[in-house]
Chains A and B, each alone.
Chain A
Amino acid sequence: KNEVEQSPQNLTAQEGEFITINCSYSVGISALHWLQQHPGGGIVSLFMLSSGKKKHGRLIATINIQEKHSSLHITASHPRDSAVYICAVRYYGGATNKLIFGTGTLLAVQP
Chain B
Amino acid sequence: DTGVSQNPRHKITKRGQNVTFRCDPISEHNRLYWYRQTLGQGPEFLTYFQNEAQLEKSRLLSDRFSAERPKGSFSTLEIQRTEQGDSAMYLCASTLGLSYTGELFFGEGSRLTVL
Contacts and interface: CB of A to CB of B under 8 A. Distances in A.
Interface of A: 4, 30-31, 33, 35, 41-45, 48, 50, 86, 88, 90, 96-104
A33 B100 CA distance: 12
A27 to B, nearest CB: 14
B28 interface: no
B89 to A, nearest CB: 9
Interface in B57-95: 58, 91, 93
B101 A101 contact: no
B45 A41 contact: no
Contact of A97 (B42, B44, B55, B103): B55
Interface of B: 4, 31, 33, 35, 40-45, 48, 50, 55-56, 58, 91, 93, 100-101, 103-109
Nearest to B3: A42
A99 B100 CA distance: 10
Nearest to A90: B100
Nearest to A104: B42
B108 to A, nearest CB: 4
Given A96-B56, A98-B58, A45 B104 contact: yes
Contact of A42 (B44, B58, B108): B108
Given A30-B100, A90-B100, A96-B56, A103 B40 contact: yes
A99 to B, nearest CB: 7
Contacts of A86: 42-43
Given A42-B91, A43-B43, A103-B40, A31 B100 contact: yes
A104 B42 CA distance: 6
A97 B41 contact: no
A31 B56 contact: no
Nearest to B91: A43
Contacts of B100: 30-31, 90, 97
B101 A48 contact: yes
Nearest to B45: A98
Contacts of B50: 97
A30 B99 CA distance: 10
B101 A97 contact: no
